[in-house]
Structures are given as C-alpha cells and as structure tokens.
Amino acid sequence: MFWQLVVSGLATGCVYALVALGLTLIYRATEHVNFAQGELAMVGAFLGFTLHVHLQLPVWAAVLGGAVLGGAVGWVCELAVIRPAEGQPHVNVFIITLGLSIVLKSLAGMVWSHDEFPFPPLFSPRGVRLGSVVVTPLNLGTIAVALGIMVGLFAFFRYTRHGVAMRAVCENPEAAQLMGVEVRRVYAFAWILSAGLSALAGALIAPVLNLSTHMGAVVIPAFAAAILGGWGSFPGAIAGGMALGVIENLAGGYLAAQIKNMVPFLVVLAVLVARPQGLLGEREVRKV
C-alpha cells in the first residue's frame, strides 16, 4: 500500500514539478509571478488533443506538437500583455497574469467547450506487478519523461549559449544587457520555454484528470511545490513537486480522501510558517 501510493504520487508529483519549473523559469528570468501557468498547461494539452483527433497524428507526435504550439501561445502572451507592462511593479504584472488566466480559460471554453474529454495516454495505463507493487507504464513513463526534461533543461542552462545568456539575465539584467545579451529576447524565450514545458506537463496529467478547461487549477499545487522546494530554485521546484505529489497521495490514502485537495494549501501554510525558504531555497536577506 505504502509503496503503491509513493509510486503513483511520484508520477503526479513529476507533473507538478514540470509546472513548478515553468513558474520558476519565468520568475528567475523576469522576476514575475505567472498565475496563468496552469492555463498555459491546459491550452497546450488541448492543442495536442486537437492534433491527435483532427489531424490523426500519433499520440507522441501530437503531444510534442502541442508543446511547440503551447510555446507559441506563451510567446504571444508575452508579446501581447507582458511586454506592454514592462517596467511596472511586479504586483501589477501579477494582476495582469491573473487576467490572462481568465482570458485563456474562457477562450479555451469557446473553442473546445467546458466539457471533459478522455485524453489518450502516452503509455499504457494497465498495471504490471513488480513484487508487491502494481505499477503502470503510464506512471513510469511520466516519471521518465519528466526526468528526461529536467536533465535536458540542466544541460541547456549549463552548455548552450541561450542557457548561459538566460542565467546572466537572472543574475543581473543590466550587466547582461551591457555584455550584449538581448534581454528582451531572453524574456520572450523564458515564456516560450516555460509555456512549452507546461504544455507537456498538461499532456502528461490529462489522461489521469481528463482533459478540461478546469485543468488550469494545476497552478495551485505547482505554486505549493515551488514554495515547498524553495521559491526560485530549480532543484527546489523538482524536489518540491515530487514531495508534494507523494504527500498528497499518502494523505489521501491513509487519512481521508477529501483531505487530498487541501494538501497543497496546508503544505503552503506549514512551510511558510516553519521554513519560509523551503527545502532547498536560500534565506532571503533584506536590504534597506
């Protein structure tokens, strides 16, 4: 029972981790908190779904295509509503992303309706017995894909020009600008990458939750995951996501089923009271 809950919790946790990574990417590059992250995941998953159903693409190609199109949606969002607010306080941009999440959700409702759709899973959801634990290829595949993306991201930041430029902008946008980094292009790229990642996350969780416009609510556990791991830390987002997925599943299994939905909120409150910097985050030093 215990390991069973841990394995399926890890699979959900990986999805939270991917959305939390998307949040962290945008935060680190632009210092903005993006409330529309969950809606980007939802729209990306719907785009993949459309590619599969209407263009008859195989599932894996449709999911990848959805991620690319989702990235494009992120770019459009950055150009249309974030860039015009350049230089405004972060609170204002936070409110703009709130508005953006409402807009994306209602647009998606108009295009695809607010009904639920069964999303074809990338891997078989039929269980395989491993000792006392039944694991599904879907669980394992989700974990594998998420881990692969994380390794890829790490390599990107470490070894590519774009990745290094992005890290430079994180450190100090002005200095990066003076060194010849196109800061605006980096901001746009952060949105594209972040939206693409979230679209993948959306396609990974859609077979479990069913595809619907309400899937954007995944942003809440993603926030909780990022805070649990340490807000603004990439390894923190990953660790926090996985930990949250497991905690949520264990609480649902051993305590009461209703408590499962409350876990993200209780985790946020507990972390902020006991250890605001999260598991892996750095303590903030405030200056005058």
Residue ranges binding another protein (CB under 8 A)? 33, 81, 84-85, 88-92, 94-96, 98-103, 105-107, 109-110, 223-224, 227, 231, 262, 264-266, 268-269, 272-273, 276, 284, 286-288
Q: Rounded distance, CA 118 to CA 126, Å?
A: 16
Shortest Å distance, C-beta 7 to another protein:
27
Q: Which is nearer to another protein, 209 or 217 (CB)?
A: 217
Smallest separation, CB 200 to another protein (Å): 24
Nearer to another protein, 17 or 62 (CB): 17
**Nearest to another protein of 114, 158 (CB atom):** 114
Select from 252, 167, 183, 226 the least CA-distant residue to 38: 226
CA dihedral 59, 149, 175, 30 (to 10 degrees): 60
Residue 132: CB minimum distance to another protein, A: 34
In the complex, what is the shortest distance from the CB of residue 163 to another protein, in angstroms, rounded to a whole number? 25
**CB 234, min distance to another protein, A:** 17
- C-beta of 86 vs 182, nearer to another protein: 86
**3-class SS of residue 133:** strand
Between 65 and 229, name the residue whose CB sits nearer to another protein. 229
Eight-class DSSP state of 119: P
Query: In whole angstroms, how close is the CB of 244 to another protein at the nearest point?
Result: 13
Residue at 104: amino acid letter = L
For the CB of residue 70, give the shortest distance to another protein in the complex, in Å.
Answer: 19
Closest approach, Cβ 104 to another protein, in A, equals 8
Determine the residue type at 10: L
Q: Residue 53: count other Cβ atoms within 10 Å of its Cβ.
A: 12
Nearest CB to another protein, comparing residues 91 and 178? 91
Q: Check if the beta carbon of residue 10 is closer than 8 Å to that of residue 240.
A: no
Q: Which is nearer to another protein, 90 or 126 (CB)?
A: 90
Q: How many alpha carbons lie under 13 Å from residue 164 in its C-beta half-sphere?
A: 6
Nearer to another protein by Cβ, of 136 and 194: the residue is 194
